């Protein structure tokens, strides 16, 4: 025992004894190191957040500026070569149109029965100022199917079915007789007309264009057909071969 304690005991002074245990704490260096690393991490996180917010704000500002910024359309002036080529193309088209008009005029004046004039008349009709002066001999009429007989220029066709125009033309008149039969007169040119009589049903009316492949009426039993010349007289000098009229000229 310690001498001081023994002396105190002899004097009657109460003495308490205790043992003190000293726990070795962590070094300040380690604590400081831990604190520093936590601060560094937090600083890095704050910096990253700040950078992301800054970039998003810049992106929004860029979008807004791009939307509000006016755009200008820049048109380039065509080069001289392109302009010259365009003018040349227009000139060629004008020349072609003039040549086509001249060709139509010449053929219409010199060759009234040429293919192009026949086509133009069929599509657009005959111009009133340019009469179709073709003679009946310029046409080749065909007859509807059936039993055909003819006498003195009048053709009788015994047939039940559709009635077709002999050639293309325009309906000049449609008349209904007392027997309930129709008489249809079709003009093909100034000098050639065909007349159908005995038709039970007429599909056309005055002024209609008719064609050889489209029915103009319907007959139940029989009908008659004759042709008129430029003088209005019935044409008689022809024969019939395989349901086609052959002129005796």
Residue ranges of domains in the chain: 136-247
Tokens 């979008």: give the residue.
63
Q: Which CATH class is domain 136-247?
A: mainly beta
Would you give per-residue pLDDT tens digits along the chain (249 residues)? 555 555 555 655 555 555 555 555 555 544 455 556 677 677 777 776 777 666 666 666 555 555 555 555 555 555 666 666 666 778 788 888 888 787 776 766 665 555 566 666 556 555 544 778 899 999 989 888 888 888 888 999 998 999 999 899 999 999 999 989 999 999 999 999 999 999 999 999 999 999 988 899 999 999 999 999 988 899 999 988 888 899 986
Q: What is the pTM of this model?
A: 0.49
Tokens 């072609």: give the residue.
96
């Amino acid at each position: 025992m310690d001498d001081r304690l023994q002396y105190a005991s002899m004097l009657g002074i109460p003495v308490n004894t205790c043992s003190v245990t000293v726990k070795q704490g962590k070094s300040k260096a380690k604590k400081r190191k831990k604190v520093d690393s936590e601060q560094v991490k937090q600083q890095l996180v704050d910096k990253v957040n700040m950078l992301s917010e800054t970039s998003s704000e810049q992106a929004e500002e860029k979008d807004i500026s791009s939307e509000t910024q006016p755009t200008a359309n820049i048109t380039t002036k065509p080069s001289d070569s392109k302009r010259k080529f365009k003018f040349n193309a227009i000139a060629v088209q004008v020349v072609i149109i003039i040549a086509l008009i001249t060709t139509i005029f010449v053929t219409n004046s010199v060759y009234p029965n040429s293919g192009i004039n026949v086509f133009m008349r069929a599509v657009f009709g005959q111009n009133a100022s340019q009469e179709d002066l073709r003679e009946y001999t310029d046409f080749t009429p065909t007859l509807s199917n059936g039993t055909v007989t003819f006498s003195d220029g009048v053709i009788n066709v015994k047939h039940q079915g559709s009635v077709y125009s002999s050639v293309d033309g325009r309906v000049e008149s449609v008349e209904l007789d007392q027997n309930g039969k129709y008489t249809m007169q079709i003009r093909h040119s100034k000098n050639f007309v065909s007349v159908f009589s005995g038709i039970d049903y007429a599909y056309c009316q005055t002024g209609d264009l008719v064609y050889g492949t489209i029915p103009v009426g319907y007959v139940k039993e029989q009908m008659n057909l004759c042709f008129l010349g430029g003088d209005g007289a019935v044409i008689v000098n022809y024969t019939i071969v395989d349901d086609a009229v052959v002129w005796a000229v």
